[in-house]
Structure formats: C-alpha cells, structure tokens
Amino acid sequence: MRVGVLTGGGDCPGLNAVIRAVVRKGIEVHDWEVVGFRSGWRGPMTGDSRPLGLDDVEEILTRGGTILGSSRTNPYKEEGGVEKIKATLAEQGIDALVAIGGEDTLGVAKRLTDDGVGVVGVPKTIDNDLAATDYTFGFDTAVHIATEAIDRLRTTAESHYRAIVVEVMGRHAGWIALHSGLAGGANVILVPERPFSVDQVVEWVERRFERMYAPIIVVAEGALPEGGAEVLTSGEKDAFGHVRLGGIGTWLADEIAERTGKESRAVVLGHVQRGGTPTAYDRVLATRFGLHAVDAVRDGDFGVMVALRGTDIVRVKLAEATAELKTVPSERYQEAEVFFG
C-alpha cells in the first residue's frame, strides 16, 4: 500500500511529529510505502512529492514547521485542480491521503472524499478553533510562547509605568488570547467573539494605573471595537477568501494613550507564535493523532478526522469537523473578567 501525507495552511509546531508517526507506524507496522507531498494541496496537484523513509523522520520530532512545506492552495479554486489531484494519485499509485491541516485544508479533504478520494484528516491549528476536537496540536505551544512574551513585557511595562497592548493571533476565535491572557495575568483580554467598548477598556486601564501598576492588555487580531470593523493588514484575500488581519493592537494602544495621557506601546507577536520547538504536550498529541490516522487508513475509514475527546483519540466525520468553528463561549470569557482592571 502507498500512502501520501501533506501539510496545508499555516504552519505550526507539531506538524513534523505527525509526519514522523505516520511514517514510523506505516512502515514498521504495516510495511507501507509513504510519500510526502510538498506545499499542501499544491503537491498532489502538480505531482511534487518525495518518498519518506525512516531516516527522513529520524530527527524531526523536535523541529517546528514542516519538512514538507505548506501553502494555502485550494484545488477547488484552480482550473482542473481536482482532476489533477486524481491523476497524480493514480500515476503515483497512492491508495490514500493523510491531510494535516485546519478548517480550510480539511474542508478540501471533505470535498475530495465526496469526489471519491480516500482521505483521513488530522486537526492542526494554533487557534484551537475546530469544534470536533477538544484540542488541536500547536495551540499549547502558541499559548506558551504568548505567555512568556507577556511575562517579559510586564517587567518592562512596570519599569516605565506604561500600558502594553499585546496582539496575538486569533481571526475568529480568541482561545490564544484567553489562555495566554489568563496565564500571563493580563488586566484586559479582548476576543473576536465579544465586541469591546473602548471606554470600558480605558476604565480598566486607568484603574490599574491608579493602583500604581502598569496595565497589560491582550487582544486577538480579530477583536472588534463596538460599532467598528476589523483592522486589515491589506485587502488582499487568499485562496480561501481570508483577508490578512493585523493592526488592532497598535490602534488600541494609540486610543489608550490619547484618552489617558499615559504612555502606551503595542507589541504584535505575529508568526513568533507559530515557530520553534513544540511543547511536550503538542509532541505527544501530534504523535497520537498520526498513529490513529494510520489506523483509520488501515481500516479504510475515509472521510474522517482523528480528534481528541477527553483523553481519548476518536474519529469524527470530516463533515462534522468542518461544519463550524469552536469559539470562546460567554461563560468562559466571564470567568476571565473577574481579573480585569
């Protein structure tokens, strides 16, 4: 049996751990051949692949990023894209695909399954916004990185008695902001799920200043002021229709400075949250996902995604996995509000 594996969408720590698990179990347990497709869905569209053997995955467990490369290619937006994928799989004798990605990559996987391609999905996103799984790998690492940044920024903020606005990733879901903000002791946390009042933020900030401390504000890139619009890096859209967000942190820092008369700075963590060595938790979760994806391929159980439910790895239909995003519920946000100001 020949099995293909690819990584699509934004990179994150833990991708290589999944690849390693698929290769190790595929070869050592089932005597399969494993083929890696480069650059996400662009790989099977163009036939760009490489064989993956045991030596190829020997040293990759601790590496961030992906040895296969990634892209936001959408074969359903390319002329003849699906037919090209089917032709490549036939030419290279690929019996099944393991697709590692988030909502966009797995959305393509679901449509390909409907079109007769055998695909098993593995959930990857630092945003932790796939509703069918309790956690996605990459999230824990991103939260650790953001929390460490908040810890470091707090000391410089206190030294200069200034407000610091920390902008983290989170287009539609504020899980990174919520978890890193709570772990870092932020005085304000702003998430996309709940439009915020600038007046209220300023009140919390001034309350902190009155107590002779420097406020730390954590804001997700997709957070919205009441009656406002998303702050865009550019109006350009990718192949899945997403615009690039960014700038809410700087905008908010300027508003705070103007309204309080206090010095304010913005720090945008950006792709720092995606890079570097995965945490132990993400390495273990990614490895377990890879092992169970191989089991699904062995069983011919296509059109599914492996998911974490409690401490167990289960299979869910790709249709369920991509039906909706997992966003921060009101009660979770209200828990955090106790610590604001």
Separation CA 268–CA 139 (nearest Å): 18
Q: Supply the angle between the helices 175-183 and 139-160 in degrees, to the nearest 10.
A: 50
Kindly state the helix (H) or strand (E) to which residue 201 belongs, with its residue range.
Answer: helix 198-210
Place of tokens 């069918």: 132
* CA 261 distance to own-chain centroid: 37
Can you say which residues are annotated as belonging to the binding site? 10, 103, 125-127, 162, 169-171, 221, 265, 271-274
Bridge partners (DSSP) of residue 217 are: 165, 188
Q: Would you call 48 a catalytic residue per the annotation?
A: no
Can you say which residues are annotated as belonging to the binding site for Mg(2+)? 103
Separation CA 294–CA 300 (nearest Å): 10
Question: DSSP per residue over 11-80, as a string?
Answer: --TTHHHHHHHHHHHHHHTT--EEEEESTTTHHHHHT-EEEE-GGGGTT-TT--S-TT------GGGSTT
**Residues near 44 by beta carbon (within 8 Å), at least 6 away in sequence:** 4, 6, 37, 84, 85, 88, 89, 94, 97
Q: At residue 6, what are phi and psi to the nearest 5 degrees?
A: -145, 160
Task: Please tell me which residue in 48, 55, 95, 127 is annotated as part of the active site.
Answer: 127
Secondary structure letter of residue 272 according to DSSP: G
Which residues are part of the catalytic machinery?
127
